[in-house]
Amino acid sequence: MRDGGRIAAAIEVLGDVERTRRPVQDALKDWGLTHRFAGSKDRSAIGNLVFDVLRRKASLAAIMGSDSPRALALAAAVRLWGRNVSSLDALFAEDKFAPASLTDDERVALSSGTVPADAPDWTKGDYPEWLASSLDRAFGDRVVEEGEALAGRADVDLRVNTLKSEREQVLAGLDHLKAVTCRWSPVGIRIPAVDGDLRPGHVSSDLAYKKGWFEVQDEGSQLAALIAATGGGRQVIDLCAGAGGKTLALSAALGNHGQIYAYDSDKRRFGDILDRIDRSGSRNIQIREPRRDQDVLGDLAGKSDLVLVDAPCTGSGTWRRRPDAKWRLAPGALDIRLKEQAAVLDNAVRLVKTGGRIVYITCSVLPEENEAQISAFLSRTPAFALGDAAAAFRAVTGQDAPELTRLRLDGRDGSMLRLTPALTGTDGFFVAILNRTA
């Protein structure tokens, strides 16, 4: 396929997503199934264009004066991918699979349209209007910068599995992907994001991956797990284990010592956790499946050194990877997540022993899910005190966390940590350490 056909396909997929409001991955998959002539390079280019549109939907619409799938895809091709307008004109004229010829208005907007200076911050920073006041609270006058960074493409980060390999060894095998060491994580490797229609490197077909030498995991997620492990501990519960991303990172950080109980209230979320554990060489993980009418963690009550709460959240820190989720997120979903977070935190309390800790993590940048959730928890749970997440960051990375990543709660000692694409070049993460003092 040529560029024209790919842009037409992106318009079709964007129209499908707009009509059906289904996840973009499903729409892309269906498009692939019904257009078997498209090769993997075509599918990848079409996916890249669709995702780039969704990342920058509000600002591209402001440039074009229209938010139609066609206007957005054309704008992304020209403004984000650097295609020039006259070459699109020529391309569209000669390719029967290309979209209809450009109109005069489109040519003008594509060549010289801009986001109006008086456009609201949510348009400039490409985030949903209903979250404007939340994100203002989080970032103040840096909100557009943070929004723009959350609308960029994400690099691919790998966590070297120190149970089986070493960073230099893994790095040496990934030369061809321009892999470099991560800035903060001592076990992180970064494969820089590709531009335009290029295909990102596929690491999961790599032999080193199959041998368990590394996992794909954002650097922010690696740091959150390493920070959780800083206090050590023999009895650990990963209370929201999901598919085990943090569980495996903890297992390696603890050097396969102690015992990690991985639990999730939804057993379907475990996914392929057993295969991943097997591949990783971890021997200190036990899965605890939820059972109806049975407290499967009851025997661990009051015994844990660490309860990791990788809380269910809006995922607003991962919008670079899931830009359609940014626009599908609704206020009702945030309310549900807030209640779930409070419930998981309260459940964690009974599991921690005095002198132990809860580490609360979200991959969100919204203060409701982060500082406000911790503030409310500490107010209703006097047996806990806020720990020093910034000091833990230093212990893990050997570097001070950038000033703006360190959050304080009014009138309390300790610190919480906020990672963002703009500040740390990672996904958006929040980490609070809650020490049980009584």
Q: Please select the residue that binds ligand SAM; options are 242, 323, 421, 425, rule is CB under 6 A.
A: 242
Which part of the chain contacts ligand SAM (CB under 6 A), choosing from 93-101, 127-135, 237-245, 328-336?
Answer: 237-245
Strand pairing report for 352-362 and 304-310: parallel
Burial label, 20 (beta-carbon count in 10 A; 0-12, 13-18, 19+):
exposed
We find the least distance from the C-beta atom of residue 421 to ligand SAM, in angstroms, to be 18
Which part of the chain contacts ligand SAM (CB under 6 A), choosing from 33-41, 54-62, 243-251, 276-284?
Answer: 243-251
Query: What are residue 433's phi and psi, to 5 degrees?
Result: -105, 130
Task: Extract the tokens encoding 376.
Answer: 């409310």
Q: Does 313 participate in catalysis according to the annotation?
A: no
Helices (H), 266-416: 273-280, 323-328, 331-349, 371-380, 389-397
Q: Is 310 annotated as a binding residue?
A: yes
We find the least distance from the C-beta atom of residue 244 to ligand SAM, in angstroms, to be 6
CA distance 164 to 336: 40
Which residue's C-beta sits nearest to ligand SAM? Answer: 245
CA distance 182 to 158: 9
Look-up of token digits 């991956």:
209
Indicate whether 265 belongs to the interface with ligand SAM (CB under 6 A): yes
Is there a contact between 254 and 232 (Cβ–Cβ < 8 Å)? yes
Q: Please select the residue that binds ligand SAM; options are 119, 243, 372, 385, rule is CB under 6 A.
A: 243
CA distance 212 to 167: 13
Indicate whether 278 belongs to the interface with ligand SAM (CB under 6 A): no
Q: Which is nearer to ligand SAM, 239 or 378 (CB)?
A: 239
Q: Is 264 annotated as a binding residue?
A: yes
Burial label, 40 (beta-carbon count in 10 A; 0-12, 13-18, 19+):
exposed
Q: Which is nearer to ligand SAM, 245 or 414 (CB)?
A: 245
Which residues, numbered 297-316, are part of the site for ligand SAM (CB under 6 A)? 310, 312
Indicate whether 350 belongs to the interface with ligand SAM (CB under 6 A): no
Task: Extract the tokens encoding 253.
Answer: 């950080």
We find the least distance from the C-beta atom of residue 313 to ligand SAM, in angstroms, to be 6
User: How many residues of this chain interact with ligand SAM, rule: CB under 6 A?
Assistant: 17
We find the least distance from the C-beta atom of residue 328 to ligand SAM, in angstroms, to be 17
Q: Please select the residue that binds ligand SAM; options are 9, 14, 54, 240, rule is CB under 6 A.
A: 240
Indicate whether 423 belongs to the interface with ligand SAM (CB under 6 A): no
Q: Which is nearer to ligand SAM, 140 or 271 (CB)?
A: 271
> Can you say whether the dihedral through the CA atoms of 370, 376, 378, 383 is positive or negative?
negative
Q: How far is CA 278 from CA 196, 236, 248, in A?
A: 37, 19, 10
Which part of the chain contacts ligand SAM (CB under 6 A), choosing from 21-29, 73-81, 188-196, 241-249?
Answer: 241-249
Residue type at position 149: A
Q: Please select the residue that binds ligand SAM; options are 10, 158, 228, 239, rule is CB under 6 A.
A: 239
We find the least distance from the C-beta atom of residue 240 to ligand SAM, in angstroms, to be 3
Indicate whether 264 belongs to the interface with ligand SAM (CB under 6 A): yes
Burial label, 178 (beta-carbon count in 10 A; 0-12, 13-18, 19+):
exposed
Burial label, 109 (beta-carbon count in 10 A; 0-12, 13-18, 19+):
buried
Q: Which is nearer to ligand SAM, 105 or 266 (CB)?
A: 266
Which part of the chain contacts ligand SAM (CB under 6 A), choosing from 17-25, 48-56, 275-283, 337-345?
Answer: 337-345
CA distance 221 to 243: 13
Catalytic residue chosen out of the listed positions 182, 240, 313, 363: 363
Is there a contact between 431 and 306 (Cβ–Cβ < 8 Å)? no
We find the least distance from the C-beta atom of residue 402 to ligand SAM, in angstroms, to be 24
Q: Which is nearer to ligand SAM, 220 or 387 (CB)?
A: 220
Residues noted as catalytic: 363
Q: Which residues bind ligand SAM (CB under 6 A)?
A: 239-246, 264-266, 269, 310, 312, 340, 343-344
